A and B are shown apart, each in its own frame.
Chain A
Amino acid sequence: MIAFNKYYNHFNVLSTVLIVVSLLLLIFKGLNFGIDFKGGTLIELRSNDTKINVSTLRDKFSQMNLGDVSVKKFGSDNDFLIKFENKDNKKNIIEEIKVNLDNSFGNNYDFRRVENVGPKVSAELLKSGVIAISLSLAIMLIYIWIRFEWQFSLGAILALFHDVIVTLGVFSLFSLEINLSIIAAVLTIVGYSMNDTVVIFDRVRENLRKYSDIKIFELTNISINETLSRTIITSATTLLALLAIYLFGGEILKGFSLAMILGVIFGTYSSIYIANTVLVRLRVSQKTVLREDDSK
């Protein structure tokens, strides 16, 4: 049996530091919002001419008075991602750019993807993203409250909060782009983290009913160990699937799968080291679950 409980305090300190650092990053560095949430225009361009590269594209685009233009390689050597704010929300901007590029490069390129999000829509998308994440946290809280005692509910929500904040913190630290699919990833992380926590909590509750003489500090450790192989196997298969998406699923799914991979790792960690330590700190005992049984 692994003594997870020996490190409860250490990891609580670590988690607190992680959350604080993430919050500071989110407040002071902020998130790198993509055009979904910031508004603007995105063009994925494929060239079949070596003359077209990041610097020539940057030159051409800076001549077009589009404001701040970012040009980046996208996956392969001849795919590029071009983004700009399109502040004036010009109507025929794409056509103008095409004419401009045709003049310099001829017909040796292709727009593979064009996205143009107006300021109104991006504001709405951001709002609905925030609502979706808050709503999912609230619904999880309610669900687990119905199924367990409030101490469990608090532990699970703290764990969820940790996973979401720290994942976003990593995205802030490395300036990774936040777009619609990242919101989907975060919601899935919420589901997954909850799933993981619930399995351990289920066992904790069962053991609380079974053993009246074991303290919660020991009992959580027993429960973690009993469910450990399941935790490892499920995390492993989920990570394998996500790794396949990350490596082979194409450039568009990279951010999504990365967020999910981080979320699964943090989710697994937090189920053990946050959710359970809350139960310990709140001195959950057999009485807690027996009271619940009585009221039912």
Chain B
Amino acid sequence: MLYFSKLRIVFITIFSLLFVLIASSNLFNFDDGFFNKKINLGLDLQGGSYLLLEIDNEPVIEQKLQNLTTTFRNYFKDKDIKINNIKIDDKYIFFNVSDENKQKVIDIFQDEDSEINPYYPRFKSHQLEIEDTGLNLKVSFSRQGLITLKTSSQDQAIEIVRRRVDEVGTNEPNILKRGNNRILVELPGLDDPMRIKSLLGKTANLTFRFVTQNDDDRFGVQKLEFEDGTQEANVSKRIIISGENLLDAQPKMDTQNNQTIVSFTLDRVGAKRFGKATSTGIGKQLAIVLDGKIISAPVVRDTIASGSGQISGGFTFQSATDLALLLRSGALPAPLEIIEERTVGPDLGQDSINAGMIALAIGFLLVIIFMFVKYRFFGLITNATLIINLFILLGVLTLFEATLTLPGIAGIILTVGMAVDANVLIFERIKEELKDETNNILAFDGGYTKSRTAIIDANITTLLAAVILFFMGSGPVKGFAVTLGVGIFTTLFSVYFIARLFTSLYVSKNKNSGKLI
């Protein structure tokens, strides 16, 4: 166990130095790309905001079912199958058909080439399931159909969230999918997420619709509140143009009356429709509806054929800027709810770094003094190994650009405390060997060999705990698992290569000087 070939010594030295060098790149700025890596600081250390958003898919499902009833009506009409009593009740569509047509309808739904019920060959499942309840036929989304629906609304939502966050211009936001109905937004350096929260909380569903007096509008009528909550108006369900027709939106100052407005530009389809509506609807009130609330309802005075217009509504400059931003980035497919928020101010982050570093320094010092008092020369070997171990640990974290969190720093300190364990096991074993063995080399060799199984077992148990923590934990706690886990590997390396090398050099020089430890 004590013999080292020259090649091995060279290898160990180079390897250790390399990691020390990588670790030091956190302090200096090297131009070289390889040494340019740095340990990332977690949000709890650099300050920032962590938001977990959940997509509320209920309205999407409801809308999809609504659309499906229309599809069914048209489709079966073409097929000369009469369907009656079609209605939606709690995520199901119910309808009646005559007994002779029942099997035909069910076959249409279960056909792999069905035109109204897409088949996913990969999952061997249709989008919709049909069931004969006896009274009527019941159609609902299949499990796979729901998953597909959720995934697609998540895909759309994450795109919109990304656009909105980018528009606000925070540095290096991190936007990730979680499950099939959640989005994680990490915003480093942001200590007041109020604006982003309010931007993400809005669906931004914009429609232009006429205010109507008569209740028998062909498309149906909806009673909607004004944004300020003071008035209500009856608005037709017929949509003239919607947010999808917008090409651009910008906040502007109306020079005539010194009001802040949002000016918008429409695409070709939108411009045509807007022109037609404004030419036929002169004198009528056109309501601008955002997320079910009327922003304003100006009276149409002229035909607007230019495809551009403006929205006024008593905006401040900030609210006009935000509305323009929301309109530019598009509507979310479904409302988002912030179900978890964690925000740390930058000064608390800095305080945590300082406290962590002081604790690390003091913990390190205490352990080093303890080891020196206990083992003298071999304590020095352990301590030198401990220092190199710390650098290698930081080097590995740097190399993988790992995220360091406050619990992560605690993990490093804990590693310092537990790293001496392996050396202690070895040294204590050597002491025992020396009780009835006068040959130092044999005793040291025996000590290393016989302590090995205990060391490996003991480290594997800690490693197992770290692995579980890594997969089950979240955020800061994950950082703890990483440093603890990596610490075990660097500790084993430094004990079995570096400390053993030092020990072997010392022992082979002093093998005849009596009991060495």
Per-residue A-contact encoding for B336-362, CB less than 8 Å = 1, 0 else:
011111111101100110011011101
Interface pair B340/A116, CB less than 8 Å apart: yes
B474 within 8 A of A: yes
Which single member of B355, B414, B457, B481 contacts A248 (CB below 8 Å)?
A: B355
B307 within 8 A of A: no
Interface pair B421/A234, CB less than 8 Å apart: yes
Chain B positions 377-428 with a Cβ under 8 Å from a chain A Cβ: 406-407, 409-410, 413-414, 416-418, 420-421, 424-425, 428
A136 within 8 A of B: yes
Cα–Cα, bound, A45→B424 (Å):
45
Interface pair B414/A188, CB less than 8 Å apart: yes
Known: A121-B339, A242-B414, A260-B414. Is A143-B347 also a contact (CB below 8 A)?
no
Chain B neighbourhood of A241, CB < 8 A? 363, 366-367, 413-414, 416-418
Interface pair B464/A195, CB less than 8 Å apart: no
Known: A198-B454, A244-B362, A249-B356. Is A112-B347 also a contact (CB below 8 A)?
yes
Interface pair A244/B413, CB less than 8 Å apart: yes
Interface pair A199/B425, CB less than 8 Å apart: yes
Looking at A26-34, A170-178, A225-233, the stretch in contact with chain B turns out to be A225-233
- Which A-chain residue is minimally distant from B453 (CB atoms)? A202
Which single member of B340, B348, B359, B481 contacts A244 (CB below 8 Å)?
A: B359
Per-residue A-contact encoding for B76-90, CB less than 8 Å = 1, 0 else:
000000000000000
Cα–Cα, bound, A117→B416 (Å):
34
Interface pair B458/A198, CB less than 8 Å apart: yes
Chain A positions 234-291 with a Cβ under 8 Å from a chain B Cβ: 234, 236-245, 247-250, 252-253, 256-257, 260
Looking at A1-9, A56-64, A100-108, A124-132, the stretch in contact with chain B turns out to be A124-132
Distance (Å) between the CB of B469 and the closest chain A CB? 5
Interface pair B417/A237, CB less than 8 Å apart: yes
A118 within 8 A of B: yes
Known: A237-B370, A253-B406. Is A183-B356 also a contact (CB below 8 A)?
no
Q: How many residues of B contact A (CB 8 A)?
A: 70
Distance (Å) between the CB of B51 and the closest chain A CB? 9
Cα–Cα, bound, A196→B465 (Å):
14
Known: A112-B348, A234-B418. Is A136-B464 also a contact (CB below 8 A)?
yes
Cα–Cα, bound, A260→B416 (Å):
15
Which of A191, A195, A247 has the most chain B CB within a 10 Å cutoff? A191
Distance (Å) between the CB of A131 and the closest chain B CB? 7
Per-residue A-contact encoding for B473-493, CB less than 8 Å = 1, 0 else:
111110011001000000000
Which of B194, B352, B458, B466 has the most chain A CB within a 10 Å cutoff? B458
B54 within 8 A of A: yes
Per-residue A-contact encoding for B304-347, CB less than 8 Å = 1, 0 else:
00000000000000000000000000000000011111111101
Chain A neighbourhood of B454, CB < 8 A? 198-199, 202-203
Known: A188-B414, A230-B424, A240-B417. Is A143-B460 also a contact (CB below 8 A)?
yes
B371 within 8 A of A: yes
Interface pair B416/A191, CB less than 8 Å apart: no
A159 within 8 A of B: no
Cα–Cα, bound, A236→B366 (Å):
10
Known: A125-B474, A233-B374. Is A249-B355 also a contact (CB below 8 A)?
yes
B230 within 8 A of A: no
A157 within 8 A of B: no
Cα–Cα, bound, A247→B356 (Å):
11
Interface pair A195/B461, CB less than 8 Å apart: yes
A120 within 8 A of B: yes
Cα–Cα, bound, A184→B406 (Å):
13
Known: A115-B343, A195-B458, A242-B417. Is A236-B370 also a contact (CB below 8 A)?
yes
A110 within 8 A of B: yes
Interface pair A114/B343, CB less than 8 Å apart: yes
Chain B neighbourhood of A226, CB < 8 A? 432
- Which B-chain residue is minimally distant from A138 (CB atoms)? B468
Chain B neighbourhood of A113, CB < 8 A? 342-345, 348
A150 within 8 A of B: no
- Which A-chain residue is minimally distant from B455 (CB atoms)? A199
Interface pair A250/B351, CB less than 8 Å apart: yes
- Which B-chain residue is minimally distant from A193 (CB atoms)? B461
B52 within 8 A of A: yes
Per-residue B-contact encoding for A151-163, CB less than 8 Å = 1, 0 else:
0000000000000
Q: Could you list 13 examples of A-B contacts with CB < 8 Å?
A: A118-B337, A135-B472, A139-B464, A140-B464, A187-B469, A191-B463, A236-B370, A241-B417, A243-B363, A245-B363, A249-B356, A253-B406, A253-B407
Interface residues of A (CB under 8 A from B): 44, 91-92, 94-95, 110-118, 120-121, 125, 128-129, 131-132, 135-136, 139-140, 143, 147, 180-181, 183-184, 187-188, 190-192, 194-196, 198-199, 202-203, 206, 226-227, 229-230, 233-234, 236-245, 247-250, 252-253, 256-257, 260
Interface residues of B (CB under 8 A from A): 44, 52, 54, 194, 198, 201, 337-345, 347-348, 351-352, 355-356, 358-360, 362-363, 366-367, 370-371, 374, 406-407, 409-410, 413-414, 416-418, 420-421, 424-425, 428, 432, 450, 453-454, 457-466, 468-469, 472-477, 480-481, 484
Across the A-B interface, the 3 shortest Cβ-Cβ residue pairs = A241-B417, A191-B465, A244-B363
20 additional contacts (CB under 8 A) given A94-B194, A195-B421:
A113-B342, A121-B52, A147-B457, A180-B473, A180-B474, A181-B407, A181-B476, A188-B484, A191-B465, A192-B462, A195-B458, A230-B428, A234-B424, A240-B363, A240-B417, A242-B414, A244-B362, A249-B355, A249-B356, A252-B406
